Amino acid sequence: MLSLKKAKMEIEYELPPLDRAIRLAGFAFADAASNLAEGAAPLVPIGYIERRAGLRNAERVMVRFMHPSPEQIDPALSAREGRSSLMAKLPEYDSSVLVFEGYIRRCVAPQKSDALIVEINDVAFETPLKVIQYYQPSRCGGFKLLGSPIFLQDERPVEPSHEAEMAGRFLDGTKSNSLVESTWAAWRG
């Protein structure tokens, strides 16, 4: 006689707020980096909101912010509008991330450097986090990430004891985005 096994139930584990927010940030970062690597045009600010984040799934929505219009995008205005829109949606969701490009003065270089800026918020955070990743644009010999990501809270670097843990979660989120599977090693140079 054939015996039937009961189907094993998938057990969903909810991720802690820091894990879910940093992983979402890594995923969104990979999306933005892929757009920049193509070198076609400036990055349109990208926003992600997520709820019910677990080890196996989440409800995730992506939005591109094109203000004042899709035909004539002002990146600074789009980033401001994106930030405002994501904050308004946060009570309905758990985490939000806004990714945009900018220029930031680096300590090691007197001129401003291209950077991807990732603003991370979660309903459990008292203050948002920010990730800064310097990069070399495609037009300058191919897209490359320069150095390691810098994690900030209240515009100050996070404690070194937390930085490695956050970087690991960020990398996990980045590598969970299928857009970077074949390009990640080349971007790291």
pLDDT tens string for the chain (189 positions)? 443 444 444 445 577 778 889 999 999 999 999 999 987 678 899 999 988 766 566 788 899 999 898 888 898 999 999 999 999 988 888 899 999 998 876 665 566 789 999 999 988 888 899 999 999 988 888 899 999 999 999 889 999 888 999 999 999 999 988 888 888 888 876
Tell me the domain boundaries of the chain. Answer: 17-184
3 three-state secondary structure: coil
Place of tokens 């937390």: 162
Tokens representing 76 are 């600074």
Q: What values do phi and psi take at 179, rounded to 5?
A: -65, -20
pLDDT at position 20: 86
pLDDT of residue 107: 63
Half-sphere exposure at residue 55, Cβ-oriented, CA atoms within 13 angstroms: 4
* Cα–Cα separations (whole angstroms), residue 19 to 12, 42, 103, 145, 162: 15, 30, 28, 23, 12
Q: Give the tokens for residue 159.
A: 């404690």
Distances (CA, A) of 136 to 116, 132, 140: 10, 13, 7
What ranges make up the beta strands (E) of 126-172? 129-136, 144-153, 156-157
Other CB atoms within a 10 A radius of the CB of residue 111 amount to 7
**Chain centroid, CA 53 distance in Å:** 15
Query: Cα–Cα distance between 43 and 185 in angstroms, integer?
Result: 21
Distance from C-alpha of 63 to C-alpha of 19, rounded to nearest angstrom? 22
pLDDT at 145: 93
Angle at 33 between CA 118 and CA 26, to 5 degrees: 50
CB 114 within 8 A of CB 139: no
Amino acid 109: pLDDT: 57
